[in-house]
Structure 1
Amino acid sequence: MTSIMTNAAAMAALQTLRSIDNNLEMTQRRVSSGYRVETAADNAGYWSIATTMRSDNAALSTVSDALGLGAATVDTAYTALDNVVDVMSTIKAKLVAAREPGVDKNKINEEMTQLKNQLISSAQSASFSGENWLYNTNALELGTKQVVSSFVRGADGSVQVTTLDFDTAESVLIDTQDASRGFLTKSIDADALRNTGTGTREYYLLDMGGPTGGDEIAIETDTPDDVIDDMIAVVDNVIQQLTDAAATLGAITSRIEMQDNFVSNLMDVIDKGIGRLVDADMNEESTRLKALQTQQQLGIQALSIANSSAEKLLTLFQR
């Protein structure tokens, strides 16, 4: 039946055109934004996951920055400690030279004094961003230092920040408040090192004003050879302790570097995972866009034809 009141063909064509326009608008939005899921309305589940993972990635980016800061602090301490080991080796060589007959021990002691000043300078300079793990002027110990290493989200949705811990008791060289807490300020029993069985003979390298026990490692013209031998044994023991401390710092540096690489790779993997959920396939969308544009043109033509069909009724009323 043909009716001038209701154009069923035009209504069907209009409905089809509206559907095409909606699909075309969605495809154009995907092409322009690059996202298949841009808002929660597109896909609430995928949008929620992607938003959470983007937030976690931002936290991991901060972790990467913290690892860089931690690495710089550790590297600073290691560099200074490595220099101190070299200076200590030179001091040991000077003490060995003092055992030679006829040598000017006063001159050697003057050289040792300058080397001690270099030890102090190295320890004081080992500061990065206000952190110095080698030199302590506080009444309390420096304690355990933490470097942020990762951001972890548990299966139950809980989050946790993990850290790399380092006990500065293994690195403090000079402690101005308690000499026993610093490798270069504490007293060491030479008898325990040499096993002479002649009684306790304690020596320390630097006098920084804190309470100390024993004698400072320094020589004079009449310093006997057995005392110099004690000093050599103590200095050698300090070098071994400093070497162990440097090895520990080196291991932490390696761990921080590995963790930093892991965090960077993890961020890349998360980005890829997010992309699989919400990114638009541009090849597919561009193809769909062309198809929908063609359908839109055909829909417009179909609507035009449907609307013009009513005009043909006018010919029935013409004389």
Structure 2
Amino acid sequence: MSSILTNNSAMVALQTLQNINKNLGMTQGEISTGKSIANAKDNSAVWAISKTMESDVAGFKAIQDSLNLGDSTVAVARTASERVTDLLTEIKGKVVASQEENVDRGKIKADIDELVNQIKSTVGAAQFNGLNLVKGSEDVEILSSLDRSSSGVAASNISVSRQDLTTDAGNRGTTALSGVTVADYGTITDSQGAAVTTTTAATGKDMDITIGGTIAVGDTLSLDINGNSLSFTATTTNAADVADALKGQINALGLEGVTADNTGGVLTISNTNAYESVDVANLAETGAASTIAVTEVNGNTSPPSATSGTIEQRAETIDLSSTTALSEGDTFSVTVGGDSFFYVAGKSESMEDVAKGLATAINTSDTDGVEARATQADDGTWSLAVDDDTGGQAFGLQVTTGGDATGGLFGLDNLNVDSNENASKALDTIETLISNSIDAAASLGSAQGRIEKQNDFMGNLIDNFTSGIGSLVDANMEEASARLQALQVQQQLATQSLSIANQAPQSILALFR
């Protein structure tokens, strides 16, 4: 049936044309924007995911800027520490030259002073955007990533340890220890072999060997000193004469710092070496009536053995603990008579740093006759040997907390080569400073390497995220182009169909003619 009021064909043709136009508009939108999902109404779930990922990409790009800034800052500090190492090496050459007596130590000192000023200038200028990583002790945090989880988003950082290459002595801590004692950090062994924190220094250590009983002619007395075997066959029955003969043999060995004396049959062997001990062993005698025995060692009148012993070095030794944890600000003070020397531990430092720092504090002071060395035992523990060649002074260790850390190049300002003693001290000091500078450069180099690797990872992550977002929302341009042409043809056909459908009622007029 035909109707002039309702044209069903035209309605169908119009709906078809409208759908085609709608699809054509969507396809044209994909082509113009390059996206198949341009807004939330296109596909809300996929759009939400893509926007979250886009926000992460924006964050990653900001992180790359942070990493680039951090990389530059660390690079400046690393370059400075390497330069400081080179300058310290030059100073070492000057110090080595000063060991000779026939050189102009005044001119050498002037050269050292100029190099020290250059080191200070280098450390002071080693900043990037106002941040200097070779001054101070606080760590620097560099933003490195955003970690997304079910509980939210958290920022992660790369922690870069500052490397204090200043010459600051630091500030002593004044807070008393809590929960621990000084003996937990370090001990001194007194003449009786007990662990103490105070004692009295001596000009030298000795051993008494008492010759007694009835000595018969032909009795043989023997002993070893530092591996040198001595033997004496008695030609007299007088103990003092026998002791005198052994004294002559010992002195004839010419061992540096080792001398022997005799007092009424008591043979006293003395050791004045600052850092070398003397071993006496295999003390023996033949003859039933004669006796020879060690009766005193290092002031101990009840020695553990009557046939052997070690005459300790002149220097008093502080044995530092390998188990007690150090905290930033722990202050170690060593007193020698009326003089006090201190070192304040920095963050993450070890007993090695304390031992070397205290040695530097002592060796760069203007106290005459006092010298120190840091040594490591076979078991890995560190000790500080302090030699006071004047002897008889009080010697002790104190530990407090709450101080400001000592700089890594502490002692450089007071490096002196004006005498044989000071030149020798300076050599030990410069070795410690070079070691500190090398450690600083190595630490900064490791941090820079990590930052660069993280920066490369961020770049790859951004590329992967961008690719993932594209696969979710980007339009397939080849497909869109083909669809556009098909829809344009469909649009033309739908338009013609609508035109034909609209002309159909015209045929009804023919019935009324």
Q: Which residue of 2 aligns with 1:147?
A: 142
List runs of 5+ in structure 1 lacking aligned partners: 137-141, 208-215
- In structure 2, the partner of 1:291 is 486
The count of residues paired between Structure 1 and Structure 2 equals 296
Aligned match of 1:210: none
- How far off its partner does 1:175 sit? 5.6
The correspondence of residues 114-129 of structure 1 with structure 2, limited to 5 A, is 114-129=114-129
Separation in 1, partners of 2:9, 2:160: 80
Match of 1:234 in 2: 429
Alignment partner of 1:205 is 2:403: no
TM-score, normalised to structure 2, is: 0.55
Tell me, yes or no, if the aligned pair for 1:89 and 1:239 is still in contact at 8 Å: yes
The offset of 1:248, in angstroms, is 0.9
Structure (1/2) with the larger strand percentage: 2
Alpha-carbon offset, residue 196 of structure 1: 10
TM-score, scaled to structure 1: 0.87
Aligned counterpart for 1:217 among listed residues 411, 415, 426:
415
Structure 2 CA distance for partners of 1:91 and 1:2, relative to 1, 3 Å: same
Contact 2:7 2:502 (C-alpha < 8 Å) held by counterparts: yes
| One-letter amino acid of the counterpart of residue 193, structure 1 | A
In the alignment, is the contact (CA less than 8 A) between 1:24 and 1:293 conserved in 2?
A: yes
Distance 2:7 2:424 in 1: 115
Question: What are the within-5 Å matches in structure 2 for residues 4-83 of structure 1?
Answer: 4-83=4-83
> C-alpha distance in 2, partners of 1:96/1:264?
50
Please, what is the CA RMSD of the aligned residues? Answer: 2.2
Change (3 A) 1:313 1:193: same
Partner of 2:108: 108
Q: Are the counterparts in 1 of residues 142 and 157 from structure 2 also a CA contact under 8 Å?
A: yes
Deviation digits for residues 238-289 of structure 1, max 9, x if unmatched?
A: 1112111111110111100000000011011000000000000000001000
C-alpha displacement at 1:4, in angstroms? 1.1
Q: Is the 8 A contact 1:74 1:249 kept in 2?
A: yes
Counterpart position of 1:311: 506
Counterpart of 2:152 in structure 1 is 158
Specify the structure having the higher radius of gyration (Cα).
Answer: 2
Q: Secondary structure at the match of 1:135?
A: coil
**Structure 2 unmatched runs, 5+:** 172-342, 347-352, 364-371, 376-382, 390-408
Q: Secondary structure at the match of 2:41?
A: coil
Q: Which of residues 243, 250, 253 in structure 1 aligns to 2:438?
A: 243
Q: What secondary structure does 1:174 align onto? A: coil
1:192 counterpart = 2:373: yes
- The secondary structure found in structure 1 opposite 2:373 is helix
- Supply the distance in 2 between the matched residues of 1:57 and 1:277 (Cα, whole angstroms): 15
Give the structure, 1 or 2, with the largest relative contact order (CA under 8 Å, sep 6 or more): 1
- The farther-off stretch of 171-180 and 263-272 is 171-180
The residue identity in structure 2 corresponding to 1:130 is G
1:192 and 1:255 map into 2 onto residues whose CA distance is 36
Instruction: Give the Cα–Cα distance (whole angstroms) in 1 for the partners of residues 123 and 388 of structure 2.
Output: 29
